[in-house]
Amino acid sequence: MARVISLAVILGLVVVFGLLSLRVMSSFLLPLLLAAMLVVIFGPLHRWLRDRFAWPDWVAAVATTLFVLLLVLVPLVLLVVRAGGDAVAMLRSPTGLKLDPAVLDGLIASVNDATGFHITSEGVNAELRRLAEEWIGPIAAGTPIVLVKVLIGLIVTIFSFFYFLADGRRMLAAVTRLIPLDAHYQWQLLQEFEEVSRAVVSSTLLAAIVQAVLAGIGFYVAGLKGVFLLTLLTFFGALVPFVGAASVWGAASLYLLFFVKDTWSAAGLAAWGLLVVSTIDNVIKPIVLHGQSKLHPLLALLSVLGGVGALGPIGIFVGPIAVAFLQAALTMLQVELDTISRAPLAEGAPVGRAAGDAGVAQTALERVKSS
């Protein structure tokens, strides 16, 4: 009886402190998840450096982390510098972002004729100033906080990536001992995480690159200046769920319509963006996710959209992983149910099955520890 009470107390402590730890670590879940996905992608490089040069894990982890930083930061800095040059040139242009007053007066006159309202340009400007104070003011005030959070998240991701590489085997072995699940099932879940992580990252980047290239073609054909800047903004916009490339090509279409007064170019760019640029995202992601993670294309699309809707930006990663884990868990359940249903058929069958499962579990656990 005392043993049962002790076990109940331990379970209660695990639940309480587990929930408390989850609350404490909740703000770092996305950086930790990104670090784990980076380990999946660059783990082979770390293992190659470790085995090729007989380096300790932490030395190979330092080299891999520096390589990833150079691979990401150097191109990013070059792109930002080039885009910043285009932005400065656009702002200094005599015909930059200046709205011709005749355009606004003509638009207001058309609206008044169609609706019977008596809108004036002074009223429109006053309303725009009010909206700017209500919307842009808080955004500008909160920008430093957002930048600090992004910087902290980036630092946590980098350090987590390093420690996952350096101490990953010991961490994984400790976790597998604590989880009351057969080792071969744990290995199956790890394989699912690896496949889905690669699929999500590759599909997101590929879709963003294709959308940026297609949008850049549209910007060039429409005669816009700063095509490189707009293309880069489209790439980053496509990485953000529910913001997407439409935030860039839509704004460019409005600029052509109201600033440049080129109706045909504005309509053409809007049609190109709606029918091609934004639509290709819903084609590439399901195909890549289906090909690399074995998810059905419909499940792949719904897992991304539903994950973002339920969890925000982190849902683009968590959604497909959750669906893939559900498929793996259902497969495990089916195997166990089949084992239970076959057990009474032949005497001695459970013993053979148990011995076979033990061998598979030991092999899977050895693969996990050696990776």
For 157-163, what is the mean pLDDT? 93
The confidence score (pLDDT) of residue 183 equals 80
What 169-176 contacts at long range (C-beta under 8 Å, 24+ apart), as own/partner pairs, is: 169/57, 169/369, 169/370, 169/371, 172/368, 172/369, 172/371, 173/368, 173/369, 176/365, 176/368
For 308-334, what is the mean pLDDT? 82
- Helices 278-293 and 297-311, axial angle in degrees (round to 10): 110
Please compute, for residue 116, the number of CA atoms within 13 A of its CA located in the half-sphere on the CB side: 0
pLDDT band at 354 (very low <50, low <70, confident <90, very high): very low
The confidence score (pLDDT) of residue 209 equals 92
Choose among 271, 219, 290: nearest CA to 248: 219
CB 301 within 8 A of CB 314: no
Residue 58 CB neighbours (<10 A): 14
For 99-109, what is the mean pLDDT? 64
Q: What backbone torsions phi and psi does residue 90 show, to the nearest 5 degrees?
A: -70, -40
Tell me which of 108-122, 200-214, 322-336 is least confident: 108-122
For 234-255, what is the mean pLDDT? 83
Cα–Cα dist 152/155, whole Å: 5
The confidence score (pLDDT) of residue 364 equals 46
Q: State the DSSP code for 260.
A: S
The percentage of residues in the chain with a pLDDT greater than 90, rounded to a whole number, is 16
CA angle, 4 then 7 then 12, to 5°:
125
Higher pLDDT, 82 or 47: 47
Q: What backbone torsions phi and psi does residue 116 show, to the nearest 5 degrees?
A: 85, 5
State pLDDT tens for residues 272-320. Answer: 999 999 889 888 888 888 777 777 777 887 888 788 777 777 777 888 8
CB 100 within 8 A of CB 261: yes
The confidence score (pLDDT) of residue 125 equals 66
- 148 pLDDT more than 80: yes
Locate all alpha helices (DSSP H) within 222-314, ordered by sequence: 227-239, 246-258, 263-272, 278-293, 297-311
- 356 pLDDT more than 50: no
Question: What's the mean pLDDT when you consider all of the chain?
Answer: 79
Tell me which of 112-121, 273-282, 298-307, 332-341 is least confident: 112-121
- 59 pLDDT more than 90: yes
Tell me which of 13-27, 110-124, 261-275 is least confident: 110-124
Residue 213, helix vs strand vs coil: helix
Helix, strand, coil percent values for the chain (each to nearest 5): 90, 0, 10
Tell me which of 47-56, 62-71, 338-347 is least confident: 338-347
Higher pLDDT, 65 or 136: 65
CA angle, 14 then 15 then 19, to 5°:
115
Please compute, for residue 129, the number of CA atoms within 13 A of its CA located in the half-sphere on the CB side: 6
Choose among 162, 180, 158, 200: nearest CA to 313: 200
The domain spans of the chain are 27-123+144-178, 181-343
For 104-112, what is the mean pLDDT? 70
The confidence score (pLDDT) of residue 124 equals 67
CB 205 within 8 A of CB 289: no
